Amino acid sequence: MKYNRYICLLSLALLAASCETEITIDLDDKDPILVINSSIESDGGVHRIYVGESQDADYHEIEADRVSVSVNGASVAVTPIKDEYSYYSSEGITTRYRTSYGFEAAFKAGDVVRIEVDKAGAPSAVAECTVPKVPVIASVDTSRTWKAVDDEYERLSADYDFEISPLLRDIKGEDSYYRMSLDVRYDIRAYREDGSYDDMESVSRGLTYDISREPILNGGRSSSSEDDISLSDLFSVDNIFCLFTDEQFRDGEYKLRLSVPSYMFLSLPYFRFEDDYVNFDYKASAIVKVYSLSFLRYYYLRALENMDTWGTETSFLIEPTTLPSNVEGGMGFAAVDAVATFEIKDVQKGSFTLVYTDDELTGE
């Protein structure tokens, strides 16, 4: 760049006048400690626990000697689960296995979940959390807003935004912390050329939706004009988990206003289609989920939002994020989020046909 010579001169002048020394900081992390992580939803299914070890400025996953889970003091069966994963290195593709620990349970408010992990050479670690009260989604209003869309070839077409407005009833008598997410369940009927078909179902989790009109989720940031954007919005932390508190509707009700572009419902999840399917019919149902969180869990997710925006390592340009932990004798975070769901059936349905070119079929 043309400023280079001036910048170099200035840098040289600064270097000549400055001196950098390095001091190694004794972190007192020579001894290993265990890290437990688990993100559990209260509505059943298989829940996973991830165990690792922190030592010498490093974190690595481990297989524990013992992982036990109890709910209100009663033991729950825990099964190791091995997941295969591959990565590229100078030696080519390497396949490895990652171990996590699964257990099945459904929870109710007030349940105390305790996870204990042992590993030789490290102190035992115990994570304990209490299931929060389940929030109430009183109703969900929906509507469609049609709009003109200008595609990349400047051809106008019409599309719609799917408006979703869940009415949330606050948990009374306490400070409440919430998270919202939107899943889509696809019911797909796949036809073969001979007319036979299979029915399949898949859920796509964490759909992206527009929160720009919902001040409780967007922090009041304006989206009124594209030409008048707040400078700082360019450098803000996005509320990717849609976290919010009941500060503005304590012990009352609040109607959230969200909008989902229709094309989001076309982002079908990964299917292992058999080769002989040719036509598909699908129906997409939106599943609104509102989670009630503990105070620490709320700020843990806030910390993750910061990390998602700025990276997981500290920077002198960013106010550092304090990371909560509820693991005694170790680190990490285990939480049960109490979830309320509301399904909106068949928000979109349609058909499509797979058409391959010769090149695609031969993989060239």
Partner 1 sequence: MGIAAYGQGRQGITVSGYVTDSATGETLIGAGVLTPDGTGAVTNNYGYYSLTIPRGRTELRYCFVGYGDVVTETTFSRDTVIHVVLQPSEELEAATVVAQKDAGIHSTYLGAIDVPVKQIQFTPVIFGESDVLKSLQMLPGVQGGNEGFTGLYVRGGGPDENLIMLDGVPIYNVDHLMGLFSVFQTEAVKKVTLYKGSFPARYSGRVSSIVDIRTNDGNMKETSGSATLGVVTDKFHIEGPILKDRLSYSFSARGMHTAVFDPLIRMAMPKDQYVNYYFYDLNGKLSWRLSDNDRFFLGFYSGADKFRLKYKEDSSGTGMIEDQPYTYSSFERDDMGIRWGNDVVSLRWNHIFSPRLFANSTVSWNRYRMSMTTVSHERGHNAYEQYDYRYDVGYHSGIRDWSAKIDFDFVPTPRHLVKFGAQYIYHTFRPETLTAITDETSNGENNQNTFKFKARDDYYGHDISVYGEDDFTVGERLTVNPGVNISLFATEGKLYPAIQPRLSAKYVFDRGFSAKAGYARMAQYVHLLSASQISLPVDLWVPITKNIRPVTSDQFSVGAYYSGLKDWEFSLEAYWKEIDNILEYKDGTLMFASSGNWEDKVEMGQARARGIEFMAQKTAGRLTGWLAYTLAKSDRRFPDGSINLGKTFPYKYDRRHSLNLSLNYALTRRLEFNAAWVFSTGGTVTIPVRKTAVLYPDSDYPVSADYIVNRNNYRLPSTHHLDLGLLMKFPHRNGTEGLLNLTVYNAYNHRNPNFCYFEFEYDYDKSGNLKERRLVMHKISILPILPSLSYTLNF
Single residue of 65, 83, 159, 343 touching partner 1 by CB under 8 A: 83
* Min separation Cβ 225 and partner 1, Å: 9
Q: Which residue in 68, 176, 181, 348 binds partner 1 (CB under 8 A)?
A: 181
The answer to whether residue 303 forms part of the interface with partner 1 (CB under 8 A) is: yes
- CA 112-102-117 angle, to 5 degrees, is 65
323 binds partner 1 (CB under 8 A): yes
Q: Does 304 bind partner 1 (CB under 8 A)?
A: yes
For the residues of 110-123, what is the DSSP string, one character each? T-EEEEEEEETTEE
Task: Confirm or reject binding of residue 231 to partner 1 (CB under 8 A).
Answer: yes
Positions in 32-51 near partner 1 (CB under 8 A): 33, 35, 37-39, 50
Tokens of 325: 């932990």
In this complex, which beta carbon is closest to partner 1, that of residue 123 or of residue 281? Answer: 123
Give the binding range for partner 1 (CB under 8 A) out of 145-153, 155-163, 186-194, 306-314: 306-314
Using CB under 8 A, pick the residue from 95, 224, 232, 353 that binds partner 1.
232
Torsion of CA 321, 324, 327, 328, to 10 degrees: 90
Question: Interface with partner 1 includes 227 (CB under 8 A)?
Answer: yes
Identify which of residues 232 and 353 has a Cβ nearer to partner 1 in the complex.
Answer: 232
Measuring CA to CA, which residue among 128, 119, 129 is closest to residue 33? Answer: 119
Structure tokens at 90: 């100078």
Instruction: Answer yes or no whether residue 196 interacts with partner 1 by CB under 8 A.
Output: no
- Indicate left, alpha or beta for 300 from its phi (over 0: left) and psi (-120 to 50: alpha): alpha
119 or 302, CB closer to partner 1? 302
The structure tokens listed for 288 are 């609104």
From the list 305, 216, 203, the residue with the least C-alpha distance to 258 is: 216
147 in contact with partner 1 (CB under 8 A) = no
Chain-centroid distance of CA 190 in Å reads: 30
Site for partner 1 in 237-296 (CB under 8 A): 237, 241, 295-296
Would you count residue 2 as binding partner 1 (CB under 8 A)? yes
Length of the chain: 364
Return the residue of 276, 309, 328, 360 that touches partner 1, per CB under 8 A.
309
Question: Given candidates 74, 148, 158, 317, which one binds partner 1 under the rule CB under 8 A?
Answer: 317
Residue 359, amino acid: D
6 belongs to the binding site for partner 1 (CB under 8 A): yes
Bridge partners of 168, per DSSP, are: 137, 254
Q: Give the whole-angstrom CA distance, residue 134 versus residue 290.
A: 9
Q: Which is nearer to partner 1, 29 or 346 (CB)?
A: 29
d(CA 358, CA 355): 10
The sign of the torsion formed by the CA atoms of 304, 309, 315, 319 equals negative
Which residue in the set 102, 261, 324, 329 belongs to the binding site for partner 1 (CB under 8 A)? 324
Subset of residues 325 to 364 that bind partner 1, contact rule: CB under 8 A = 325, 331-333, 337
